[in-house]
Structure formats: structure tokens, C-alpha cells
Structure 1
Amino acid sequence: MADDVLSQSEIDKLLSAISSGDVSADEVKAEEQQKKVKTYDFKRPDKFSKDQIRTLQMLHENFGRMLNTYLSTNLRSLVDIEVASVEQLTYQEFIQSLGNPSVIGVLAVPPLKGNIIMELNTSIAFSIIDRVFGGTGANTIKPRTLTEIEEAVIRRTFAKAIDNFREAWANVVKITPRLEVMEANPAFVQIVPPSDMVVIITLKITIGEVEGFMNICIPYLVLEPIMSKLTTTFWVASSVSKENRPEQVEILQRKIARTSVPFVVQLGSIEISIREFLTLGYGDVLQLDTKVKDELPCQIGKRRKFFCRPGTFGKRAAVQITRVAPEGDEDTDE
């Protein structure tokens, strides 16, 4: 701690006091031993280390960036989201700190056991609703319970936030969060005993000129099976190795294999004047610039890739690939 560090002038004064006899060495040792005693509250035991708190902060900074992108695009307004704090409290202290009414979503996060809470201040909730319905986003509504239509709008916002939450946690554990229930009164939400420790991640959300908070409450019992993974080293290592996993390569290959692209065979071309074009009628014949024995160019998308010859396959028209076009070879720069 910074309070335990002495400046050079303080060290000089202490040494001079000991040498002059004003302060004895035994008094210094007694004072040093007294400073080692740290107050510990057994009613509020610390369940999370500083490294784990730091990891949770980084995870939810990533979550905040993704949610910021969604809200900015969806609301078409200037949105700013940042992690205001990450602290551990008892569940009772967290519930007592919430306003009534509030917008509370109870989430299940399988395969982890238990539930977590995602709480949104009414000021931000009504600002989102106002923007969705074409308003300016100004918070002119007094705190109250949401109507059915307003709740449907907020459920859609929660659904996207849950997707971002799942993606943000993917480097630590693969979860499939889902919204189980929404409540307005914090007293009706009881996911763990009041004395259990929880970690509270508070995100400050600014939409235009409206400011509010989103609180994410994660009980210790939910995170207990993955506490060893909540370290900065593990989080960074997993995010780096994620791109090199074989299953990721297979997924990309399957997506590329299912991609549809147009395949066009150009039979030939001809140039005519506007006057000739306007005089064309049914039964007229246009002579193309290709011969019967000429190879026809094949285009993949807008790029010439092969040459072919026309023919039939059964009762259907078909082409036979004869060679690769020089400009369509994979070894070329184009």
C-alpha cells in the first residue's frame, strides 16, 4: 500500500532519531508488528482476489464495447458505456441499493449453476424506449413499472445484451445465457441467501444527455467452478489461442463450402447501334463474335476463371471445362 512506503526524507529522520536515542529500535519493531495486523470482517469475507477482479473488469469492458456498438446503431444516438466499478458485496447489500421500481432481468447461465442478475436503471430504460418510438431520448418519465409494450422493447434490448455477454465470456467459459424472468421490485428477486457474497459490475451508460447505470450481479456460487480461469494470464492466453484452434478452421471451411456464387458462361458479344436495337423484333437473328469451335469464357462472380466448350448432358445444356484462364489462376496476384 502507498501508506506503508516512506520517502527518503522520512527514512533519514527515522535513522537520525534512532541514532540520537529519541526512538528505540524496540519501539520501531512494535509499531511494525502493529501495522501488520489487518482488520478482517468475517461477515463479509473477500471471495475474489485482485487479479480476479481485474479479469472481470476486462471481460465486461469488452462486453460494454459490444453493447455500445449495438445501442449506437439501433438507437441512432450517441451512446457511451464504460465500467464504473467492480466490487464484492453481500447479496442483501446489493438488493437494498437498487431502486424500486427497477428493470431487473434474472438470467440462467448454463452450464454454470444458479442465476445472475442484469439490472437496468429506469432512466436508461425509458430513454431507450423513447428513442425506439421516435423520440429524442430525453428522460421525462417518472420511475414506474413498464407496460407490456415497453417491456417487449426492453426484452429485445436484453436479448442483444445477453448475446454480447455470452460472447464476452467465451474466452473464459462457454455459456448459453437466457432470460428467465423480468421483475420490477428488487424484493421479489432472491437468487441466493442474503449473506452470500456477490460481485457487482457497474456499467455507466450515457445516451445523449441521459445518464444511468447497468448492474450485473454474479454470485460467488455461480463462479466457484471456474475461479481458476478468472486470471489475466488465462484470459489473455485463451483469447490468443482461440484463433488457432482446428475447430475454428473447420467451421470457416464449412461456411466457405456453403457459399453460393454465380457461374456465368459468356456465349459471345455483339455491338449494335441504338437505331438497330430499336428496330429489333421477334424472330430476328444476331450474329455473335464467336465461332462454333471457339472456347467460351466462364466467369465466377465478376471474374473470368475458366474456358469451356458448350454441349449437352442428357437432356440438359452443359459446358465442359477445358482450361483455367491465366488471369483466374490461384498462383496469380489477381
Structure 2
Amino acid sequence: MSKRELLTQEEIEALLHVVDEGAVDADPDGPVAADVKTYDLASQDRVVKGRLPTLELVNEKFARLFKVSLNNLLRYPVDIGVGGVQIMKFSEYLQTLYVPTSINLIRVKPFAGTALAVMDAKLVFRLVDQFFGGSGTQASAEGRDFTPTESRIIRRVLECVYADLVQAWKGVLPIDIQQLGSEANPSLLNAFSANEIVLVNTYNAELDNGGGEIHLTLPYAMLEPYRELLESSGQGKASEVDKRWVPNLERRLLDARVNINCAIAERQISLKEVLRLREGDVIPIDVPDSHLVEANGVPAFMAKLGNARGNLALEFQEPYVLH
């Protein structure tokens, strides 16, 4: 717009005056209802942004721990992978579940509210089949409840899940898990409102005969008071965990067994002399005053050759110093 197209102060005041008197219709077309959309400022959709690095680290640690626990339970190799964290409305999440699904309501202190530990039917049937040494064939279970035997296996697996989750969170925030109840039909679940935002942590379990998924489903409102902690890179907490591991790591390193060897003497001779050697031949050598002792091939210390209780022995003199 050029300078001469701008309104003067007198022109602006004149326009405002006629609008106040009603001489000009300030909204000639009226509102267009079709273009108006309601927006809920309290909606959680607007605040769930970005990654949660600390939560991702916890998930990775849990997967490693749970792999060991499940292998020990089944006495069979099982691979556990992290499927990531999905953010969705609870109504959308329910649409991903089938009947039956092992849905377990849990309380995770110090978080407020109720969370879900979920195992899909495919995984349950394959775990049961493997536990009892089955053939690996897929059982038909659509639309039915879990049998008492399947429920017992579910409980044993969940015990491992809860224990490993507690351990995985230990370096970030100490938690305690209590099971409140269980359900096999997702449509009967009323723990959350349809529009509530949930974080679905997925873990993939793979056996030779197939696999399935385990979900840890957390309401966003449950984690919101700890959002800053979960959004951090986790480096500070990781360093604290590392410090706690140092004494145990040092102790295990010091208990490691190594091979030591010591060359008593060395001499170079020609290949011709080697080929001429016969039984009883003598090779003159000069025995040095001290000998280099190596630990797993690494120079460790200097020692003196001697005798102890009738056996050849090495007497420590000083650490080896690389010049």
C-alpha cells in the first residue's frame, strides 16, 4: 500500500463515528456457521507434543529385563522388542483390541489414576502352548474368555512384567505396581473416558512359532506432573545410575580370572641349528635378574625367578612401566 492510500486520523475518526451511529453495517454477510469450529482449550490434544526420551529409555531397559524373565519362565528363547510409544484417544485405542484380550487394570504409585497392562490373545496362546511343550499351532479363541489354565499363565507372565517394570523405572522414579482387576472384553472397559488421551507403550514378543504384543497403556493425565522428567534427555539420571553400578562393576572386574605367563629366557638361533638339534643337545642361555610377567598378553609386572616350598616361583618386584 502506498503512503497516499493510508487513512488520515480525521478519516479514521469519521468512520468510527458512522459505525457507532449504525449507518454502516459492520458485518454485512453475518456469521458463516459452516466455517466455525469449536475449540476446547482444555483438550489434551494441544499439549501432547514431542518425544519422551526418558520414557523411551525405560522401555528399552524393561524389554531387556523382561526378555531374561520370560526366557527363564518358559525355558525357551523369546525375543522382546520395543514397538515405541503411541499417543491416541482411548476410544481409538479400544478399536485396536479384540475379544479376548487380557486387559489388566493396575495402579502405579506414585502416579495418580489407573493404567492398563495388556496382552493380546495371540501372545497368550503361544506362551501357553510353549509352556506346556505344544506343537506351536494356533488355537481358535475368537469371542471366548480365557480358560483357567490360560489365566494362570497370564498371571505368571504379569508377575514378571510388574517386577521388571519396577526395576526398569528404578533409576528414574521408584514405582510400585498393584493389580486392581482384569477384563477380557474391551467393550466392557470403562476405566477411561472415550476422549481421554493415553500413551500406549508397545513391546513385541517373538517366539519360533509366532508372537504377539504387550501394551502398557498410561493416561496422559497420569504422567503430566512428571512431564519435565520424561521429556529430559535422561543424561543426569543416567549418570546417577552409572555411579551406582560402578562399585558392582569394579568388584566383578577384579574377580575376573586372567592367565599370566613369564618367559624365563630367550635366545635367537638359526633355522639350520634348529634342524640339527638332537636329543641331549644343550642350548646355552643367559638368565636375566628379572623377568617380565604378562596378564592375558599385557605386560603387568617385573618378577624374580626363585623357589618356594620346593617349587619354581616368581617374586613380585615392581609394576611394569611402559617407557
Tell me the TM-score normalised to structure 2 length.
Answer: 0.59
Report the AA paired with residue 196 of structure 2. Answer: D
Residues 1-334 of structure 1 aligned to structure 2 (within 5 Å) = 45-52=45-52, 54-143=53-142, 144-233=144-233, 235-242=234-241, 244=243
**CA contact 1:75–1:131 (8 Å) conserved in 2:** yes
Relative distance call for 1:78 and 1:141 in structure 2 (3 A) is: farther
Aligned position for 2:314? none
**CA contact 2:126–2:209 (8 Å) conserved in 1:** no
Question: What residue ranges of structure 1 are gaps of 5+ in the alignment?
Answer: 1-40, 253-334
**CA contact 2:108–2:176 (8 Å) conserved in 1:** yes
**CA contact 1:126–1:141 (8 Å) conserved in 2:** no
What is the CA RMSD across the aligned residues, in angstroms?
Answer: 2.8
Relative distance call for 1:83 and 1:243 in structure 2 (3 A) is: closer
TM-fit CA distance, 1:104: 0.9
TM-fit CA distance, 1:138: 3.7
Q: Could you give the per-residue CA deviations for residues 183-207 of structure 1, whole angstroms, max 9, x where no partner exists?
A: 1011222222111111111222111
Report the AA paired with residue 100 of structure 1. Answer: V
Determine helix, strand or coil for the equivalent of 1:108: strand
Report the AA paired with residue 181 of structure 1. Answer: G
TM-fit CA distance, 1:105: 1.1
Determine helix, strand or coil for the equivalent of 1:123: helix
Relative distance call for 1:242 and 1:65 in structure 2 (3 A) is: closer
**CA contact 1:139–1:210 (8 Å) conserved in 2:** no
Relative distance call for 1:137 and 1:78 in structure 2 (3 A) is: farther
**In structure 2, distance between residues paired with 1:142 and 1:166:** 32
Report the AA paired with residue 174 of structure 2. Answer: K
Relative distance call for 1:44 and 1:100 in structure 2 (3 A) is: farther
TM-fit CA distance, 1:57: 2.4
Aligned position for 1:302? none
Report the AA paired with residue 185 of structure 2. Answer: N
TM-fit CA distance, 1:209: 2.5
Higher-Rg member (1/2): 2
**CA contact 2:100–2:146 (8 Å) conserved in 1:** no
Number of aligned residues = 211
TM-fit CA distance, 1:214: 1.4
Relative distance call for 1:227 and 1:99 in structure 2 (3 A) is: same
**CA contact 1:46–1:88 (8 Å) conserved in 2:** no
**CA contact 1:202–1:216 (8 Å) conserved in 2:** yes
Determine helix, strand or coil for the equivalent of 1:230: helix
**In structure 2, distance between residues paired with 1:178 and 1:165:** 12
Relative distance call for 1:173 and 1:46 in structure 2 (3 A) is: farther
Tell me the TM-score normalised to structure 1 length.
Answer: 0.57
Q: Could you give the per-residue CA deviations for residues 145-179 of structure 1, whole angstroms, max 9, x where no partner exists?
A: 11223212211110110111111122222110122
Q: Could you give the per-residue CA deviations for residues 57-94 of structure 1, whole angstroms, max 9, x where no partner exists?
A: 22212111111111122212231121223111011111
Aligned position for 1:7? none
